Structure 1
Amino acid sequence: IDCRSCADSEERLMNWLLGKERYNPLIRPAVNRSERVTVTIQVSLAQLISVNEREQIMTTNVWLTQHWVDYRLSWDPARYEGIDKLRIPSRHIWLPDIVLYNNADGTYEVTVFTNAIVLFNGSVNWLPPAIYKSACKIEVKHFPFDQQNCTLKFRSWTYDHTEIDLILKSEVASMDDFTPSGEWDI
């Protein structure tokens, strides 16, 4: 396989997928108005940055994995040198507007708009990192042996349950890539 033709095929595929006459990133990827877009999210806790007992705020470094299908981003790999996966800058595609509702500093969105991984069948995986400051009721009755239970509440900012079906992959955050804190145990 000639690498130039692979690069040409990828460019041709990107131009076709994201062409202005074919794709509008402002439009929810539903075949019709009554169809809900299923968005699966998984919260991965990378780091507990701080817990401010006085202000009742927990600061965390979180990866918010989001998965959905955008039928408009599907293609036949045979027509594009076997390309079955693309990395597309997320600013070019529709994104679910999932935000942390119980934030404590007015910052609702993710901090870095990373590339999305798009498969030939329209499956989209987006893993943006975020630093969240969330409101958390902190009890210090038995300091330093207190246990805290802090909940992160995510939902769509503008879409309701008739437009997006938001599914939490797990009730608890993944700790697979967690970096321990010297002060707090999780």
Structure 2
Amino acid sequence: MIRPKINQSERTDIEIKMYLLTLLGLDTRKQVLRTSGFYVISWTDDLLKWNPDDYGGILEITVQQKEIWFPDLYAANCIHGYQKFGADDLRLYVNYSGAVDWEPTFSLSTSCAVDVSLFPVDSQHNNRALDDNKPGNYHKRSEIRQFSL
């Protein structure tokens, strides 16, 4: 799939926001945190821009994930290995300026070091590790610089 830039050597900036909907469980013995929610992942696709006046005033369309470029993202610290974001039939929202929003859901079981020695006044911290390549892929990697929770 061709990258979303006219100049293919140009960087594609991607914004990732995570919305945690449910804390499904925390197994302190196994050190596993189970959560569910969704991401809002946004970028601009220069190849999908149009003038609404030329297309009957259409401002936004939806397309299936498999039909356009999208970042190859994985949740990297899952206890059962890497988990790829999205699904082929998931809809992406594209507006006339080329802005694309992708909203894959997740249900993850991740490793989480738990220290309950100060219970009931303890606090726990869990990092979400994202990767743009599944292990074993050796093409040029992108840098994930910002992650909002």
| TM-score bucket of the superposed structures, by smaller chain | 0.7 to 0.9
Match in the other structure for 1:168: 146
Looking at structure 1, the residues matched to 96 and 49 of structure 2 have their Cα atoms a distance apart, in angstroms, of: 5
Looking at structure 1, the residues matched to 59 and 144 of structure 2 have their Cα atoms a distance apart, in angstroms, of: 26
Q: Normalising by structure 2, report the TM-score.
A: 0.85
Looking at structure 2, the residues matched to 135 and 169 of structure 1 have their Cα atoms a distance apart, in angstroms, of: 18
- Unpaired runs of 5+ in structure 1? 1-25, 174-186
Match in the other structure for 2:103: 127
Report the alpha carbon displacement of residue 167 of structure 1 after superposing the two structures with TM.
Answer: 4.6
Report the alpha carbon displacement of residue 98 of structure 1 after superposing the two structures with TM.
Answer: 1.6
- Unpaired runs of 5+ in structure 2? none
Q: Which has a greater percent of helix?
A: 1
1:136 to 112, 119, 123: 112
Looking at structure 2, the residues matched to 89 and 78 of structure 1 have their Cα atoms a distance apart, in angstroms, of: 24
CA contact (8 A) 2:74 2:130 kept: yes
CA contact (8 A) 1:99 1:155 kept: yes
User: Size of the alignment, in residue pairs?
Assistant: 143
What stretches of structure 1 move > 6 A for 4+ residues in a row? none
1:70 paired with 2:27, answer no
Report the alpha carbon displacement of residue 30 of structure 1 after superposing the two structures with TM.
Answer: 2.5
Report the alpha carbon displacement of residue 80 of structure 1 after superposing the two structures with TM.
Answer: 1.2
**CA-based RMSD:** 1.9
Secondary structure (helix, strand or coil) at the match of 1:45 reads strand
Match in the other structure for 1:37: 12
Match in the other structure for 1:150: 126
Residue identity matched to 2:36 = N
Which of the two has higher C-alpha Rg? 1
Identity of aligned pairs, percent? 27
